Structure 1
């Protein structure tokens, strides 16, 4: 229950006297220890991405994506050309610093500067990126950009409610589950119930600390090895 009241003794939300609309995200490069994010450019990234996605044993990774799967490299390139032209979603390619190759994409979308709300979506990571420090760092870099650079108040993650890997990934990264919107959309000829997750600015300091600690070299002494999990680090910071 809110502790704030108006002159009619009605409960109201907390005042934000100095709030102003946030800037829109820009096409810039974000640098990390394991990866960097570059604005998607089909001429630079599409061939790498098509090859990286082709390494998957099947096409199940596209089941819950709005686009795809793609039959060949040329069809994927055509999609990438179109995706790269938009500002919402604003697509980024994930570049693996160890290889210099583009190995996945993700986007900032449903951008609402007036209310300081932004969503990460269109997450498509190839086998070369999945379950690596770079995959976590890619998400961390966009969160940092949204909260620390642009000053957004709310950072959302939405997915098909049946997409168990996506739901698990959101929780691992520190998003809080907020509920399911039933029959929210229709895509690929089927109905979608949408699961909503979010991190708000009050959550962000603890989420940021846990992610930074997890990504630190002393926590990842060797490929595929972690000394402390993200969940353990968040629990420790909350204690």
Structure 2
């Protein structure tokens, strides 16, 4: 991972245009090829980012980051205050909470609950940057990666996007590999971003999967 603290301005050029005026920011370049621009606020959320795979061309005072769709982040650097690179190694991945882990077990036995016709190929299929929860096969023989969350949010979409970029470069899999974000509930923002990324969304009922009555009573 490369960490650069610099005074810079950032322009996004793609389906729309966005501009970040000059300020001191953190540029975070990961080994998976992604780059994100952070301010000293907004918690973990970047001001702008480019998901992998993307190429970074460094010129004097300008970084040009281009993704597969030919969208660009143009980072104009006025002053670099810190520049360091660190080898983090392979991350063991996030340990899921009880509900999320149990959902994965239940859906591995019932992948058709995610989408009718899905059959399980493997649980915890390694992508090189972490395991995708379920690798499945659809009725047409295509490969489907399913990421399971208790609550589907933007982070889950970003995580699955990174996995799909790696899976679509995996020579052992039929291509293209599509993705489904599966959760008990999915936020409108996550649904919108998933739609933009070509990722499907699936909402499942945890109690129904366990064979229980709904936790919230219904009238009918």
Q: TM-score, structure 2 length as denominator?
A: 0.31
Higher strand share: 2
Higher RCO (C-alpha under 8 Å, 6+ residues apart):
1
